């Protein structure tokens, strides 16, 4: 499980990680937020209306789901189970409350926190990404302050100073955890 504040570089580091290490599948979450330019349905997320999402909740399709910054996000059980059944390790890229819920449901999960070098740098990255309004960036920074305080609940903390270095550290963590299984 890869968690950490929005803008810390989770997506960037995960993409670099997957070039370094095989046998990893990314569980595609469902969300009600609007796709960003370049995002493709079924690749970054399963984009759903609130009605569709709530029907999946009622059907018990989610391992966990949360409301985050005005939208719903959730991990679909089928995304995780199908990939584990194929023998892959499954990566979940989810926020803090979801990570805690998955840890309760699957205690064997390994939790990695991706931290920005500082809150100032996080603000620069979020603004630099250019995908959120000023107001949405401010909201994400407020949430981030609370999330950073929870880093010590995680099995590993990786500071994303340089993305390639962080990806190499994450690859080493996963290789080590695989040996322990």
Binding site for ligand 5GP (CB under 6 A): 6, 29, 33, 64, 66, 68, 73-75, 93-95, 97-98
Minimum distance of ligand ADP from residue 106's CB (angstroms): 22
Question: Residue 168 belongs to what H/E stretch?
Answer: helix 163-180
Which of the choices ligand 5GP, ligand ADP, none does residue 103 contact, using the CB cut-off of 5 to 8 A by kind? Answer: none
DSSP output for 42-77: TTTBEE--HHHHHHHHHTT-EEEEEEETTEEEEEEH
Residues making contact with ligand ADP (CB under 6 A) = 6-12, 125, 128-129, 160, 162-163
Name which of 56 and 68 has its Cβ closer to ligand ADP.
68
Name which of 10 and 103 has its Cβ closer to ligand ADP.
10
Minimum distance of ligand ADP from residue 109's CB (angstroms): 19
Angle between helices 10-20 and 163-180 (to 10 degrees): 60
Residue the block writes with tokens 């999330």: 147
Nearest to 54, CA basis, from 32, 81, 38: 32
Minimum distance of ligand 5GP from residue 25's CB (angstroms): 15
């Amino acid at each position: 499980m890869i968690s950490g504040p929005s803008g810390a570089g989770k997506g960037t580091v995960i993409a670099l990680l997957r070039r370094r290490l095989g046998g990893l599948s990314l569980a595609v979450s469902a969300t009600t937020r609007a796709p960003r330019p370049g995002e493709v349905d079924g690749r970054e997320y399963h984009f759903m209306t609130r009605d569709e999402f709530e029907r999946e909740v009622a059907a018990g399709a989610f391992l966990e789901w949360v409301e985050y910054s005005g939208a719903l996000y959730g991990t679909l059980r089928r995304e995780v189970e199908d990939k584990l059944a194929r023998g892959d390790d499954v990566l979940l890229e989810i926020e803090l409350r979801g990570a805690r819920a998955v840890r309760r449901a699957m205690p064997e999960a390994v939790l990695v926190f991706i931290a920005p070098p500082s809150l100032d740098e996080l603000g620069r990255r979020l603004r630099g990404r250019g995908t959120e309004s000023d107001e949405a960036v401010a909201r994400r920074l407020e949430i981030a302050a609370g999330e950073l305080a929870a880093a010590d609940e995680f099995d590993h903390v990786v500071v994303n100073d340089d993305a390639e270095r962080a990806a190499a550290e994450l690859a080493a963590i996963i290789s080590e955890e695989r040996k322990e299984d």
